Each structure stands twice: as structure tokens, then as C-alpha cells.
Structure 1
Amino acid sequence: MARSTLEQWRMFKAVAEHGGFHQAAEVVYKSQSTVHHAVHKLEQTLDVQLFQVEGRKTTLTAAGEQLLRRINFLLAEADRMENVALNLKAGVESKLSIAVDEAFPRDILYQTLAAVSAEYPLIRIELLETILSGANELLSQGKAEIAVSPFTLPDNLNEDLCQIEFIAVAGPQHPLTQPRRELALEELKQCRQIVLRDSAQHQKKDVGWLGSEQRWTVSHVATSIELLRKNLGFAWLPKHAVQPFLDNGELLPLQLPRGSSRTFTFYLNFNDADTLGPVARSFLGHLRYLSND
């Protein structure tokens, strides 16, 4: 039988992550003496030193670092168990938070949300619009129950949702489209490229060709399209997003010897199916159906 408790491990983790007993006490809403006693009791029980204190600095020992990696999984599992119990008790969740990459087709997303709301009219849906690795970061932080992302979820089973084509485009008066011709790589390097900023706060990623000497970075697909329509640069953007502007001539596809089009797989990510309530499951079902329609 375990001689340590989850509460002791939670306090140990708080001290490790926040750099001291005083800081941890503020996070867990306990007195500093309570936190210190819990960690000291844990060290006595395990007969191992978890922290070393040098002046005002509290750092993990080698043993503490190894145990922290293991306890993160245990505490996450405990939280999932509590969430499962809450869902079983409540029956239907009152809110669903979904992180969706901006490159994912809006029509599919909106049809999915409409179908879910028709089934559960009282549900509050929070739509978190992200770029690149932002959706998975929100999922890992517990700020979203579901993520639609162009990246797989590490250490998890990942579900392919659909493939999205990105094409190189610019405005009709941009030097790269005047006159219409096949472009050389050097011509691209000399022009301004509009790129999308990763909305993640940590472990940001760059995707695709970023070879231009000039670059403007923006936070939304709509901003990128507006800049292109004003002939202020070129970019690779989702074909479904720029198709209306291709149809009316406000944007033109670039003629490249290779690489003018690229395809990315988008994934449907969530941490634990057992923690998802009926509203989340309804969203998953409709999104799967519409993405493969």
C-alpha cells in the first residue's frame, strides 16, 4: 500500500515548478509551513532527499528531478479520473472549449458547431482560434478539450482528419505576377513574404519555405490575405481561404517550377476519450463526418 499521498506529491510538484516553498504555498493556497511539512514528510517516508536549499534558492536533487518526471503522469491521471467522475455525475457538460487552427476550413467548422448546438442548445462553446502549434499547446494546458491542429500530439494516438492544400499567391499588380511567367527562386528571395505567426507561447514552430530576405509576420489568415490583395507581398495560404479571391481576380497563383502547392494533414487531437462528455463526443462525430464528406 502506498505510504505517500497525492496531496504530498502535488505540493512537491508546486515547489519544484515555482522555485520555493513560499511560492508554492501561494499557488496551492496553503501555508508555507504546511507545504514544507508535506515535502519533509515525503522525504522521510521515501528516505530520499528531494530538494537542496542554497541560500534563498531551492532546487531539485537528481532524485527529485527523476521523481518529478514520473509524478507528472500520476497527477495527470488523477485529474483525468476526477474529470471522468464529474462528467458521470453531471451527465452533460455545460461548456466546451475547442482550439482550431485558422487554416482549417471554416465551413466545416461552422456546420459542425451548428449541428452540436442543435442537439445541445444550452451548451456554451468557446472557440479558440490558433496558428500552427497553438492548438496543441492549449490542449496540453487544459484550456481546450479538443484541438484541430496541423501537428500530431506527442505521446498520444493521433487521428488524421483531412488534408488541406496551401498554394503560393500574390496580388495581380505584384512584381511576381507582372508579367505572368514561371518564377525563379531568386525572384522569390528578393520579394516580401507574408508569414503566419505561431500562436503558441512555448516551442513555436516555423513551417514551409522562409527564404525571403524581407518578411512580414502576421497573426491571422485574413490579415495575410488583405496584405496580398494590396500587392504588399506573397504567401502560401490555404486554397479554400483564397479561392474566392482567385475567382474574382484579386489574387493570382504564382507559377513556380516546383513547390507552388503543398499539402498538410490536419489532426483531431484530445487527451483522453474517457474524460469527454456527450457534447464533446457529438462535436467529434459531426466533425469527422463533415471532414470526410
Structure 2
Amino acid sequence: MARSTLEQWRMFKAVAEHGGFHQAAEAVFKSQSSIHHAVHKLEDVLGVQLFQVEGRKTHLSAAGQQLLRRINFLLAEAERMEQVALNLQAGVESTLSIAVDDAFPRDILYQTLSAVSHEYPLIRIDLMETVLSGANELLAQGKVEIAVSPFTLADNLSEDICQVEFIAVAGSEHPLNQLGRELTLEDLKSCRQIVLRDSGKARDKEHGWLGSEQRWTVSHVGTSIELLLKQLGFAWLPHHAVKPYLDKGQLKALVLPRGNCRSSTFYLNFNDADTLGPVARTFLGHLRYLTQD
């Protein structure tokens, strides 16, 4: 039988994260004496010193540092259990929040959302369109329940959902498509490249070949296509997004010695299946089905 309580561990974590008992009391809206009591009771039960006080500063002891790494997992599991209970109590969730990378095929996404709405007509969909690391960042922040991303999760399992082909393209009248020969790196470097901005704040990275001396960075695939149609640059874009313009002759694939096409794996990411409500699970089921081919 455990002799410590989750509340004691929460108080321990608060002191460790906020750097002192006074700061922890303000952060968790409890009296400083109650936090002192909880931590000292925990130390008595465990028989180890968790903190060292030097002047006005409170530092974790070696034992405290080791226990903090373990307790983070325990408290996260407790929060998940509470969320599972809330889902069971509430039944069907009223809102489904998802983050989907801008390069993911729109037709598959819209078919999935349509199927979910058909089964749950009153559901509110909160769709956040992201680029690169943005979807996973929103998932980590707890702002969405599901993320469709070109990146795996660092600390959880990711499900391979589909492959998206990217192709190097430019407007049909762009100088690169007027040379009548296979292009060289020097040809590309001398022209403006349109690249997508990472919508995640933590990574803030661009992706792919970035060798052009001129570069415009935009936030959406649609903006990239508009710029290409105006002959203002070239880009690697999802084949499914540019296919209508290729078929009409408005855009043309660049003729490169290699690398004109590349494939990117997209992943279905969520933190814990047990915390997902029935609407979220329905979304997952339809998305998996539509990406099987």
C-alpha cells in the first residue's frame, strides 16, 4: 500500500518547477504552510531529503532530481485517468479539435470530416491548418486531440497513415520551363524559390532543398501555387495540390537530373487512445479507411 499521496507529489513537483515554496504556493493557489507540510510529510515517509535550501533559494537534492523524472510520468498517467473518467461521464464530446498539415490531401480530409458529421450532426469541428512541426506542437500543448503531421512524436508512438509525393514545379511561362533542357543546380540557384514556413514556434524550420539565392517564405500551399501561377518562382509542392494546374498546362514539372520528386510520410498522432471520445475515435477510423489505398 502506497504511503504517499498524489497530492503530496503534486506539491513536490510544484516546488521543483517554480523554484521555491513561496513561488509554488502562488502558482497552485495554496498556502505556503500547506505545501511545506505536504513536502515534509513526503520526506518523512520516504526517508530521503528532496530539497536543499541555500539562503533564499531552494534546490532539488540528488534524490529529488531522480524522483522528479519518475513522478512526471506518474502524474501524467493520473491526469489521463481523470480525462478517461470525464469522457465516460460526458459521453459524446461536443467539439473535435484537430491539427492537419497543409500538405495532407484535402479530399481525404474533407471526406473524413463529412463522414464524422454525418454520424454526429451536432459536433463542432475545430480544424487548425499547420505546416511542418505545427500540428505536433499543438498536440503537445493540448490544443488539439489529434494531429496529422509529417513528423513522428518524440515521446509517443506515431501511426504511418499515408505517403505524399512532392514535385518540383513552376509556371508554364517561367524561365526555368523555357530553357528546353535538363536544369542544373546553377539554374535553380539563380531563380526565386517559394518555400513553406514552419507554423510551429519551437522548431521554426524550413524543409527541403533551400539552395536558391532568392527565397520567398509563405504560410500556405495555396499561396505558393498562386505565386507560381504568376511566374514568380518555383517550388516543391504536393502532387495532389498541383495536379489540376499541371493538367491544364498552367504549371509544369521541372526537368531535373534527380530530386524532382520526393515522398514524405504522414503520421496520425495522438497522446492516449483511452482519453479520446467517440467522435475522435470515429475520425481516426474513417481517416484510416480512406488512406488504405
Q: What is the alpha-carbon distance in structure 2 between the residues aligned to residue 183 and residue 203 of structure 1?
A: 32
Q: What is the alpha-carbon distance in structure 2 between the residues aligned to residue 241 and residue 105 of structure 1?
A: 8
| Unaligned runs of at least 5 residues, structure 1 | none
Q: Determine whether 1:109 maps to 2:143.
A: no
Please name the residue that 2:83 is paired with: 83
Moved over 6 A (4+): none
1:112 is displaced (CA, Å) by 0.7
SS at match of 1:70: helix
Q: What is the alpha-carbon distance in structure 2 between the residues aligned to residue 54 and residue 219 of structure 1?
A: 49
2:263 maps to amino acid: T
Please name the residue that 1:190 is paired with: 190
1:178 is displaced (CA, Å) by 2.5
Please name the residue that 1:138 is paired with: 138
Q: What is the alpha-carbon distance in structure 1 between the residues aligned to residue 190 and residue 60 of structure 2?
A: 50
Q: What is the alpha-carbon distance in structure 2 between the residues aligned to residue 214 and residue 20 of structure 1?
A: 51
1:107 is displaced (CA, Å) by 1.1
Please name the residue that 1:49 is paired with: 49
1:119 maps to amino acid: E
1:228 maps to amino acid: L
1:78 is displaced (CA, Å) by 0.7
Correspondences of 1:251-270 after superposition (within 5 Å): 251-270=251-270
Q: Return closer, same or farther for 1:213/1:270 CA change in 2, 3 Å cut-off.
A: same
Q: Return closer, same or farther for 1:10/1:214 CA change in 2, 3 Å cut-off.
A: farther
Correspondences of 1:142-221 after superposition (within 5 Å): 142-221=142-221
2:108 maps to amino acid: I
2:37 maps to amino acid: H
Q: What is the alpha-carbon distance in structure 2 between the residues aligned to residue 2 and residue 263 of structure 1?
A: 51
2:254 maps to amino acid: L
Alignment: residue pair count: 293
Please name the residue that 2:31 is paired with: 31
Q: Determine whether 1:239 maps to 2:236.
A: no
Q: What is the alpha-carbon distance in structure 1 between the residues aligned to residue 139 and residue 274 of structure 2?
A: 15
1:191 maps to amino acid: C
Q: What is the alpha-carbon distance in structure 2 between the residues aligned to residue 131 and residue 168 of structure 1?
A: 18
1:58 is displaced (CA, Å) by 4.1
SS at match of 2:25: helix
Q: Return closer, same or farther for 1:60/1:131 CA change in 2, 3 Å cut-off.
A: farther
SS at match of 1:136: helix
Alpha carbons 2:195, 2:206 under 8 Å: kept: no
SS at match of 1:93: coil
Q: What is the alpha-carbon distance in structure 1 between the residues aligned to residue 96 and residue 31 of structure 2?
A: 34
Tell me the alpha carbon deviations over residues 229-265 of structure 1, each in whole angstroms, 9 at most, x when there is no partner.
Answer: 2222221111111122222333221111000000111
1:57 is displaced (CA, Å) by 4.6
Larger mean CA deviation between 240-249 and 27-36 belongs to 27-36
Correspondences of 1:57-76 after superposition (within 5 Å): 57-76=57-76
Q: TM-score, normalized by length of structure 2?
A: 0.90
Identity value in percent:
80
1:206 is displaced (CA, Å) by 4.1
1:187 is displaced (CA, Å) by 1.9
1:11 is displaced (CA, Å) by 2.6
Larger mean CA deviation between 187-196 and 272-281 belongs to 187-196
1:242 maps to amino acid: V
1:285 is displaced (CA, Å) by 0.9
Larger mean CA deviation between 31-40 and 185-194 belongs to 31-40
Please name the residue that 2:5 is paired with: 5
2:208 maps to amino acid: G
2:29 maps to amino acid: Y
Q: Return closer, same or farther for 1:53/1:146 CA change in 2, 3 Å cut-off.
A: same
Q: Return closer, same or farther for 1:220/1:44 CA change in 2, 3 Å cut-off.
A: farther
2:50 maps to amino acid: L
Please name the residue that 1:226 is paired with: 226
SS at match of 1:96: strand
| Unaligned runs of at least 5 residues, structure 2 | none
Tell me the alpha carbon deviations over residues 137-184 of structure 1, each in whole angstroms, 9 at most, x when there is no partner.
Answer: 222222211111111223433221111000111223333222242111
Please name the residue that 1:282 is paired with: 282
